[in-house]
Structure 1
Amino acid sequence: MKRVSFVALCVVALAVVTFSGEIFTAEAVTCSPTELSACLPAFTSTAAPSTNCCSKLKEQQPCFCTYIKNPSLKQYINNPNAKRVASICNVPYPKC
């Protein structure tokens, strides 16, 4: 019985170490609105977003609320075209 408990404990410990390593390896995003310059044509017209635009949107997603709160950027992020682009790129639009 002790051997089974020890093996189970080792399996649980291994799982914790494996999954906690994945949690801590996530990179922090540097919020930089210039990273979204590839999306400017799509934000300001009905142009389709480029692949680069979509990848940058996904990368900068944690920054959207900060951008929306910035009066200089709000007009670009909080408009129907930006919402359309986010939808096309499968990036959820933030609820700040």
Structure 2
Amino acid sequence: MGLCSVLLLVVMIVGEVQVSRAIICSPTELSPCVAAFISQQPPSGACCSKLREQRPCFCGYLRDPYLRQYVNTPNGRREASFCGVPSPRC
């Protein structure tokens, strides 16, 4: 009985970990990248993580005239390249 309970608990925990969360397409999600957008310093790990997470949102950002001026810049492309995030093909 004890082993079955432990196995059931492990299955429940693993199932919880694998649940994916919805991506929120909001430019504020990229706030960890502000310093690298503005300066020549390399992006932080948190920034790279957010860039990878927000990748499905990039085409929407590029269609917005206000956001395009920040996303489609040399620093923005440099950050994405540094983090291994390919340029979007919209």
2:50 aligned with 1:48, yes or no?
no
Gaps of 5+ in 2: 1-18
Kept after mapping to 2: 8 A contact 1:44/1:76: no
Aligned to 2:32, what secondary structure does the other structure show?
helix
Larger radius of gyration: 1
Q: Which one of 66, 84, 87 corresponds to residue 81 of structure 2?
A: 87
Gaps of 5+ in 1: 1-24
TM-score normalised to the size of structure 2?
0.73
CA RMSD of aligned residues (A): 1.2
TM-score normalised to the size of structure 1?
0.69
The percent of aligned pairs where both chains have the same amino acid is 57
Aligned partner of 2:61 in structure 1 is 67
Question: For residues 29 and 60 of structure 1, what CA distance do their matches in structure 2 show?
Answer: 7
